[in-house]
Amino acid sequence: MVALAVLVVSAAPNLQRQWSRFQEEGVAFDVAQELRTARTLAIAQSQPVTWMWEATTRQRWLAIVQDDGTVVPAPGRWGHRRVVPERVALSIARDEQPVQQITFYPDGTSELTTLSIGTGAAFHYTITVYEATGQVALRAASLPA
């Protein structure tokens, strides 16, 4: 019984790190898919589509920029707000300045933007949105411990 208790106590930090990594990975893959969908919607609907990030509430969603400039949630599930877990850090920068949205245009282009996703653990994701093509690249990197 004592040996089992020691095993459980020694495995707990490892399980917590693993859980953090899975959360981080899930957010990175979901955000990359949302960005790709925003580009596809912009092309298909011939109007700008914006991926929105609200840092204070930790929510993200897709929005359509209408001809008159108003912004409305995208149709279907893409317009629903999704929450990023507290332990997962998400930062977005364009020209080394923080931003809270990425717009995709009907011609398939966007703004050169980099998103960083991490938990402070030894695993990290970078998502790059390329300006000329609007393509979304997801890259994972192991960082020194």
DSSP letter (8 states) at residue 25:
H
**Torsion over CA: 21, 62, 114, 99 (sign):** negative
Per-residue pLDDT of the chain (145 residues; tens, 9 = 90+): 766 666 556 655 666 666 667 788 899 999 999 999 999 999 999 999 999 999 999 999 999 988 888 889 998 899 999 999 988 989 999 999 999 999 999 999 999 999 999 876 545 899 999 999 999 999 987 655 5
Q: How far apart are the C-alpha atoms of 6 and 46, rounded to whole Å?
A: 61
Closest CA to 61 of 98, 95, 35: 35
Tokens, residue 145: 């411990």
Per-domain boundaries in the chain? 2-142
Helices (H), the chain: 2-45
Instruction: State whether CATH 3.40.50.620 applies to domain 2-142.
Output: no
Q: How far apart are the C-alpha atoms of 48 and 60, rounded to whole Å?
A: 17
Q: Count CA within 13 A, CB hemisphere, residue 81.
A: 10
